[in-house]
Structure 1
Amino acid sequence: MFRNRPIPVLLAGTMLATFSMPLAAQTRQPVTDQAPPAQPAQAPVLPTGDVITQINVVGSQRIEPDTVRSYLKLRPGDLYTAEKGDQAIKDLFATELFADVTVREASGVVTIEVKENPVVNRIIFEGNKRLKEDKILKEIRLAPRQIFTRSKVRADVARIIELYRRQGRYAATVDPQMVTLDQNRVDVVYSIVEGSKSRVEQINIIGNEKFKDGRLRHEMATKQARLTSFFSSNTSFDPDRLAYDQQKLRQFYLTQGYADFRVVSAIAELTPDKRDFIITYVVEEGQRYKFGDVKVESDLRDFKPDFAKSIVPMKKGDWYNAKQVEDTVNGLNETAGLLGYAFAEADPEFDRDPEKKVMNLTFRLAETPRVYVERININGNTITQDKVVRREFRLQEGDPFNTFQVKRSKDRIQSLGYFQEKFEIDQKPGSTPDRVVLEANLEEKPTGSLSLSAGYSSLERFLVNASIEQTNFRGLGQSLSASVNYSRYSKSVELGFTEPYFLDKNIALGGNVFRRDYNSFNFINGNQRNNTYSQVQTGLGLRLGVPVTEYTQLQLRYGLSKDDVSLDKLTYYTNGQCDPLLAGRYLCDAIGNRLTSSLGYSLAYNTTDNGLRPTKGNKLVLSQDFAGLGGSVKYLKTVISADHYTNLGRGFVVNFSAQGGYIHSFEGTRRDASGAEVDPVRLVDRFYLGQPQMRGFDIRGIGPRVQRLPYKYNSDGTPAKDANGNFILDPTRKTLLADDSLGGRAYYLGHIEMQIPLGSGARELGLRPSVFVDIGSVFGVKRPTTLTLPPGSAALTRDILDASGNKQCLGADGTTLSVRPASGTCPTGTTNYAQTIPAFSEVFLGDTPKPRVSVGFGVNWNSPFGPFRIDIAKALVKYKGDDTQLVTFNVGTQF
């Protein structure tokens, strides 16, 4: 008889810690390599030489005996030997299906006794907090309903430890345990002790003379653990990053002219407490080189060396720069690609002269045929139709190959927003050397959204939003949307549809219908909000877009809307008329219905690399709208905006933005009810500026406004006067009786904002910070007629009416109200229910083009309870009447 002995050894060093949690009435056994208990002494090996007459299989449950025999080299009629019996055991163990195998032979009858490996019932992880189960399960070999083997357990333990090491947790241990169940099943339990994260405590560099340690550490991906690196994940030790940093050091020195630089050694050592690492690099800088003779040799017919030489930026005597050489190679290749040579490659040849410390360089462009596009393949689009992608290609089958057009096609396809972020168009050889196949390998992402959200805003207070949107409707690139928004100060319903290629022509046709209800408000008594006018707008819009050039788009639009501007009659009316003493002449002038019929256009020039999240490029838009094709208002509104995006590298992106606008009225002179001349542009048509466009200021917090100020009073209740006998106003914000923004006919606004990259740990949290500077102003409104109600004036009280417009009487209890009799006299025991109007004086402020300036920083955070945005901005330059606000935030959640 021959029986297996040692069971394969699990990784030593993983059995350092065990966290056991007993399962009901079951015993958990460690999965170890120790040999099974000693077996009874086996009978001596029988003499060999018998001819095999029969092979019996004993002990198999799930596996058929014929299957067991198929794994053997023993066959009836063969001569049985001890070596063949030993080989049979090895063959069966190699299948990893059996936990034990015994081979016996007697008088030509061979008996194979097997004990099958159990089946895995489930995989259990204990102690894992930093790595979720779904991430570990994707990496290990064992899975439920598979055959349990110790080799797979060993491999799983090693893989789990490797996953933790990639997170910088070198103290992590894994203790595999097995719980035996009935029907030859087992639960496999991986008990994990994650340990603390091993950080890089110190980075030492030896041998550097030309650059300081701090300058070289700046080039590395690995950072030293410091308080300032709290959000960075690059402070953890990673062997792969160690090799990457060596390459980064070499790249840096090569850009500075040190062509002989090399890293002699890189050693990572654990600190005495076994928690952190100290990394030491030993380097040799070598000599610094300059460029010598720089030549270009071209065998391409249309790519002459003289022309190619004009593309080469480096000159003789410049410091050698390997990055500049690499960029030149790419530039030469791209230029050759513009001429149709898709497979042209500029090969740099170096001739180093150590004595003169110069690097002679020759770029060689070997002869290659001009290439044409043979075929365009589009793969991976299961929903989006091929024509949606093909119409964005700037090349067609049969066209000469052009690298610029290929890149432009990539940018246009990516700007659709239907596919993955990192998308490339691959170039593959065609059927002949002068043919190329362009292949777009797409990975679609969801383009439809259905959301119901609620949140809180510092501007709108509580708000609710419900919307449904599909930007790739039916896979044709059509956009369909519907939304409902509700908050304390605004409500809206809107439906929209856009067909980007009407009748399969490059013409975008779309439209929308909407209803918007907006309640304007001002601030009184400090931060107390007071509703002023209400604007209800109902309308529709039609738009038509056509390309003018590759980067220029023209959009025509028509809009028809009806506006109803009203004031609360109980608050602002007297005897059925808007009362200027209560509302101000400017608000009384704004009320009424009007119909606006406008025709407009937008001319947009856009070279940004991505329409969704641009990192480089420019965008310039000119828009004009003319109202007067029918309707009751006539004006021309002009707005110009410009954006420039610059990628500074390392994730820093700067956006320079500027915009401005002006509205001109064709209605001529307008007068209010009192006959006074008023601004020809109505209140609701003007420009407004403030939060959120101008951070650091409140909503509509900049520009022309009217403030209603009370008078100061002495302690005895008499009005305070100055030395000249004039009444004194109290201009403090906390005493304002009204603060109404009037808007302006002109405005300008500028931003400089830089996105700040964070480590991968912060990115996983969804943190995207930025710093910004805002500058702007709104101005140019005709000075309104202001009112004054001095102390002692006769018009100090007004009757308060009920909802039906009846005057009221106030009961003796101070709360009971009743309708005043027709005689106009309240019954005995009641009094006239009236409102006292405090004395006031209105002042006109803020109508100046002088700039307001604010600086600050903001953070977007995809928090567990929804998107969160906070801005902290300080108004550096402001003027009298402006309303500032230091902190604004917006938070919501989906349910």
Structure 2
Amino acid sequence: MLGTMLSGLALPAHAQTDSQTPLAQFNAEAEPVAAENTLPEGQVIRAVLVEGSQRIEPDTVRSYVQLQPGATYTREMLDEALRDLFQTELFADVEIRDNEGELTIVVQENPVINRILLEGNRRLDDDDIRGEIRLAPRQIFTRSRARADVARIIELYRRRGRFAASIEPQMVELDQNRVDIVFEISEGPRSRVQQINVIGNDVYSDSDLRSEMATKQSRFFRFFSSSDTFDPDRLAFDQQRLRQFYLTEGYADFRVISAVAELTPDRSDFIITYVVEEGERYQFGELELDSDLRDFSSEQFTSFIPMQTGDWYNAQQIEDTIDRLNETAGLLGYAFAEARPEFNIDREDRTMSVRFRIEETPRVYVERIDINGNTLTRDKVIRREFRLQEGDAFNSFLVRRSQARIQSLGFFQESLEIAQSPGSAPDRIVLTANVEENATGELQVSAGFSSLERFILNFSVRQRNFLGKGQELRAGVNYSSYSNSIELGFTEPYLFDRNIAVGVDLFRRDFDSFNFIGNDRNTTYQQVSTGFQVRAGVPLTEYWTLALRYGLSQEDITLDENTFFLNGQCSPLLAGRFLCDTTGKRLISSIGYSLVYNNLDNNIRPSSGRRLILSQDFAGLFGDVRYLRTRADFDQYFNIGSGFIFGLSAEAGYIHSFENRGGAGIDDVRLTDRFFLGEPQIRGFDIRGVGPRVQRFSYSPGTNDLITDPRFVTDDAIGGRAYYLGRAELEIPLGSGARELGFRPSIFVDAGAVFGVTNPTLQTFPCLDANGNEVGQTPCTGGTTPGPIVTRLLDSNGAPLFIDNTSGVLTTDATTGGNPNTEANRSIAPFLERFVGDSPSPRVTIGAGVSWNSPFGPFRIDLAYALLQEEGDEDKIFSFNIGTQF
């Protein structure tokens, strides 16, 4: 009998059911080995039989080999037959037996996969890994596919920076020749860059060059960043960064000879080594322009270039010059003009001369504007944002501006570009806007907690592209412990297809003002406003806009009568003169305007550009209030590179009253119309924690000693006529993982003040000597002590009230049953009022914060410390907001 078997990869022929067999042999290749025998060669095949096949027909097995009855076989033919059968990957084991020319092919079929299991993966989801696996249930198991799946999973982990990951496939045998395949995964640590070495650099140090690379060395403080994770693509990018750095410093011959990343023996870290050749440093030689465009002469060239002969060579300045030349040609209508630099290097003088060549091209006109991809948005909504029309001379600046305006609508994808293609003639061009619409309807239901407003509930619905016409329709309801509101609004951006925006807002707002008694909030007055506002906006230029508005509202301000009223009237002793003067109903009619300059690159999260707003509102067309409120706002943003965004903001305001409300200690501007400052405008202070305020201090009973414990001090912010506020903030970039989660940390400095209010009339109490005689008014000096103020209680008609001696109830009768009743009165314990904080001196805070677009709503945390503050200011180190906009 001649037998030849496959060794190494064959599955056990008689493995126990549900046993687990490692598949470490997947990396080996099967080679048939002929068994030694002494049978003569050249025997005639009488028959070819098949044994062991279950799912595969015997004729199918025989079709895979070249053994046919009547033919003469050799040892090589048998070995070839075994190879052919194993190459089908249908069999786990094959054996050929010979009985005097009767050949029997004994096969053990590969098992059927029952299911595929993953174990040990924590950093990657099952769905991510299963996307790389080609084996599937109910398929026939093959070794080559299993080996390929292992390789793909390992490659997936390497792309995630885990080069120490290993996969141990296991096989669990079941009955009926079925198996479970288990991929046991050891993910290992993320492979980080332990060290970056540079060889061949003489001019710049290793640390200088490492600072130019996107890849960073692993350090403990980079726990939020992924820049220290090894990435082969980033390695190639860093070589370009190095070359770019040297080319901007004058080293035109610089090159990276090699870049090698070596994995440490434990496969946990990488050591990267760059071998560089710096070369010589060059200066600019002659700089010339050779232009065939009749509208752009060589004499104008010097105004376009940032470098001069003798400056150190800088490749970035060459690129900037090319961009400016192409942009200028585009502004002149030459869409297809292209500046090309021609270099002449003098290695002896170490100079680089550059000639910029612009060949003649025809002036181009816009033949057609095509818009594709808009299914909901109407064509005219997009076309009216184009700064060019069909038939106009081409202008590259206006094309970019059109693209920015379309993107600012917020209806389409951020990567929108206006494509340019040749038209039907050399002087014609076709502009194509390929848009991809985003969802513009928003439904928001959220709840949260804020250190400002405690519990918050918000429900709003908004459609920014109503019926595809670009109109905005919105409705919202907000509720918190201190404010409630309901608002409806509609905006038409193009009235009668003209560039005039109009809108209307209806609102009802309830607001509870409060003061602080220690750390406890105490509601002071309730303000209810109901009204509407009509808006209109007209663009003056591309960046300047004039906005007009008119508003009419009814305002009702009330105090808790049980707390602040005495004898049916607001009592200054209980509420304070400034609060009593605020109560009542008023009709407010106001008209205003805003002059806006805005060239920000993004109105929501700007990284560059400027915004300037000047606003004035005049109340007094009719109604009960007359004032002029003026405000100015300025914002400037700088992209300083490497993901850092620096922002400067300043704002100021002043309100002037046209009323003479009269009386000492009464300001002509009502309390509710004044400016207030604190959290969140200036971080590091509590809400309304900056500016003029009235404080009430109690006395220790029977003494002249004030109780200064903040828990027992009543603190009322009364605002000011004027304010200013400035901010400087630096947004710090994080790694890609943190950016995807929506984390945006920053450091900041805030400064501001609110001031300019008439000194309010403060309450005083009688000073009593040792015999209880009144000898003056507070503050008391010497041995005198403040005494209480006793006020008679009156009914609604002004008649005095008495306490019935028999029943104890209040009555207007002086006697009951011939017995005199006790006069009813209220004794108010003495206190001292102080007016503080009315100063234009800046309050300055520094701090750090982080914004997070969390799954449950926007979240903002700030830690701030007050460097400068005035007496009475309420500082606050920690603040946070959840579920509201910040």
Fold in common (TM above 0.5): yes
Contact 2:41-2:73 within 8 A present in 1 as well: no
In structure 2, relative to structure 1, the CA distance for the partners of 1:397 and 1:129 (3 Å cut) is farther
* Equivalent residue in structure 2 for 1:777, among 753, 768, 776: 753
1:481 corresponds to which of 448, 460, 474: 474
Q: 1:531 aligns with which of 514, 523, 531?
A: 523
CA drift of 1:807 comes to: 9.2
C-alpha deviations, 1:118-140, integer Å up to 9, x for none?
77665432211111223334444
Native 8 Å contact 2:845 2:866 kept in 1: yes
Greater displacement, 88-97 / 342-351: 88-97
1:873 aligns with 2:849: no
Distance in 2, matches of 1:485 and 1:801, equals: 42
Structure 2 CA distance for aligned equivalents of residues 85 and 386 of structure 1: 74
Structure 1 runs not aligned, ≥5 long:
11-23, 51-55, 105-109, 721-727, 812-816
In the aligned structure 2, how far is the partner of 1:547 from the partner of 1:88? 85
Task: State the distance in 2 between where 1:393 and 1:97 align.
Answer: 64
Instruction: Give me the whole-angstrom Cα distance separating, in 1, the residues matched to 2:853 and 2:364.
Output: 47
Q: Do structure 1's residue 351 and structure 2's residue 344 form an aligned pair? A: yes
Which of 536, 560, 563 pairs up with 1:568? 560
Letter in 2 for 1:176: P
* SS of the residue 1:628 aligns to: strand
Q: What amino acid is aligned across from residue 846 of structure 1 in structure 2? A: G
The alignment partner of 1:629 has SS state of strand
8 A contact 1:754–1:772 mirrored in 2: yes
Report the alpha carbon displacement of residue 295 of structure 1 after superposing the two structures with TM: 1.1
- Does the CA contact (< 8 Å) of 1:809 and 1:826 recur in 2? no
Equivalent residue number for residue 361 of structure 1: 354
DSSP-derived class of the 1:387 partner = helix
Root-mean-square deviation (CA), in Å? 4.5
CA distance in 1, matches of 2:264, 2:582: 75
Counterpart selection for 2:718 from 742, 760, 763:
742
- Distance 1:5-1:568 versus aligned 2 partners, 3 A rule: same
Aligned-pair CA distance for 1:292: 0.5
**CA contact 1:540–1:561 (8 Å) conserved in 2:** yes
Could you tell me which residue of structure 2 aligns to residue 704 of structure 1?
692
The question of 1:691 aligning with 2:683 is answered no
Q: Contact (CA 8 Å) 1:2, 1:85: kept in 2 or not?
A: no
In the alignment, what sits opposite 1:333?
A: 326
CA distance in 2, matches of 1:582, 1:325: 75
Q: Which moved more, 1:442-451 or 1:488-497?
A: 442-451
Within 2, Cα distance between the matches of 1:491 and 1:596? 20
Letter in 1 for 2:873: D
Picking from 406, 409, 434, the partner of 1:413 is 406
Q: Per-residue deviation at 1:409?
A: 1.7
Q: Deviations over 1:769-796 (max 9, x none)?
A: 1111112122222222221124556654
Counterpart residue type for residue 262 of structure 1: R
Judge which range, 437-446 or 884-893, deviates more: 437-446
Which amino acid letter does the alignment assign opposite residue 855 of structure 1? I
Q: Which residue of 1 aligns with 2:703?
A: 719
User: Higher mean Cα deviation, 627-636 or 368-377?
Assistant: 368-377
Sort the Cα spacing of 1:303 and 1:731 in 2 relative to 1 into closer, same or farther, 3 A: same
CA deviation vs aligned residue, 1:823-856 (integer Å, no higher than 9, x gap): 589999x999987532122222222222222111
Partner SS for 1:253: helix
Q: Number of paired residues?
A: 850
Of the three residues 866, 888, 894, the one matched with 2:879 is 888
> Secondary structure of the residue that 2:459 maps to in structure 1?
strand
Q: Is the 8 A contact 2:514 2:522 kept in 1?
A: yes
Change (3 A) 1:289 1:479: same
Report what 1:763 is aligned to.
739
Structure 1 counterpart of 2:756, which letter?
G
What is the Cα deviation at residue 676 of structure 1?
A: 4.2
Within 5 A, what are the aligned runs for 1:247-262? 247-262=240-255
How far does residue 170 in structure 1 lie from its aligned partner after superposition? 1.2
In structure 1, C-alpha distance between the alignment counterparts of 2:201 and 2:33, rounded to whole Å: 63
The 1:790/1:46 distance shift into structure 2, 3 A limit, reads: farther
TM-superposed deviation, 1:357: 0.6
User: Does the C-alpha gap of structure 1 residues 347 and 7 become closer, same or farther in structure 2, counting only changes over 3 Å?
Assistant: farther
Aligned partner of 1:502 in structure 2 is 495
Matches within 5 A, 1:786-865: 786-790=762-766, 792=768, 795-796=788-789, 820=810, 837-863=828-854
The structure number with the bigger radius of gyration is 2
CA 37–383 in structure 1, closer or farther in 2 if over 3 Å, else same = farther
Q: TM-score, normalised by structure 2?
A: 0.84
Structure 1 SS opposite 2:228: coil
1:588 aligns with 2:576: no
Determine which of 270, 276, 298 is the counterpart of 1:283: 276
In structure 2, the gaps of 5 or more residues are 98-102, 769-785
Describe the SS at the equivalent of 1:244: helix
- Give the conservation status (yes or no) of the 8 Å contact 1:60–1:114: no
- Identity, % of aligned pairs? 59
Moved more, 341-350 or 423-432: 423-432
SS of 1:222's partner is coil
Contact 1:533 1:566 in 2 (8 A): yes
Distance 1:39 1:641, change over 3 A: same
Query: AA paired with 1:705?
Result: R
Which secondary structure state, in structure 2, belongs to the residue aligned with residue 221 of structure 1?
coil
In 2, Cα distance between equivalents of 1:419 and 1:609: 16
Code of the residue aligned with 1:308 in structure 2: it is F
Amino acid at match of 1:638: T
Aligned to 1:814: none
Counterpart amino acid of residue 651 in structure 1: G
Aligned-partner residue type, residue 740 of structure 1: D
Q: Deviations along 1:250-289, whole A, 9 cap, x unmatched?
A: 1111110011112222222333544322222222111100
Residue 626 of structure 1 contacts residue 635 of structure 1 at CA under 8 Å; is this kept in 2?
yes
SS of the aligned residue for 1:590 comes to coil
Match of 2:537 among 539, 545, 552: 545
TM-score by length of 1: 0.84
In structure 2, what is the Cα distance between the partners aligned to 1:690 and 1:475? 41
Deviation of 1:879 after TM superposition, in Å, equals 1.2
Contact 1:411–1:610 (CA under 8 A) maintained in structure 2: no
Matches within 5 A, 1:285-304: 285-304=278-297
Contact 2:852-2:858 at 8 Å conserved across structures: yes
Give 3-state SS (helix, strand or coil) of 1:411's partner: helix
SS at match of 1:788: coil
Deviation at residue 681 of structure 1 after TM alignment: 1.6
Structure-1 separation of matches of 2:804 and 2:648: 61
Structure-2 residue corresponding to 1:53:
none
1:201 pairs with 2:194:
yes
CA distance in 1, matches of 2:570, 2:105: 106
Corresponding position of 2:600: 608
Give, in angstroms, the shift of residue 650 of structure 1. Answer: 0.9
Contact kept? 1:669, 1:677, Cα under 8 Å: no
Shift of 1:475: 3.2
Find the aligned partners of 1:89 and 1:834 in 2 and give their Cα distance: 117
The answer on whether the counterparts of 1:826 and 1:832 sit within 8 Å (CA) in structure 2 is no
CA contact (8 A) 1:719 1:791 kept: no
Distance in 2 (CA, whole Å) between partners of 1:112 and 1:386 is 73
For residue 579 of structure 1, the aligned residue among 562, 571, 577 is 571
Cα distance in 2, alignment partners of residues 691 and 608 from structure 1 = 26
Instruction: Say if 1:41 and 1:856 are closer, same or farther in 2 by CA, change over 3 A.
Output: same
Residue of structure 2 equivalent to 1:133:
126
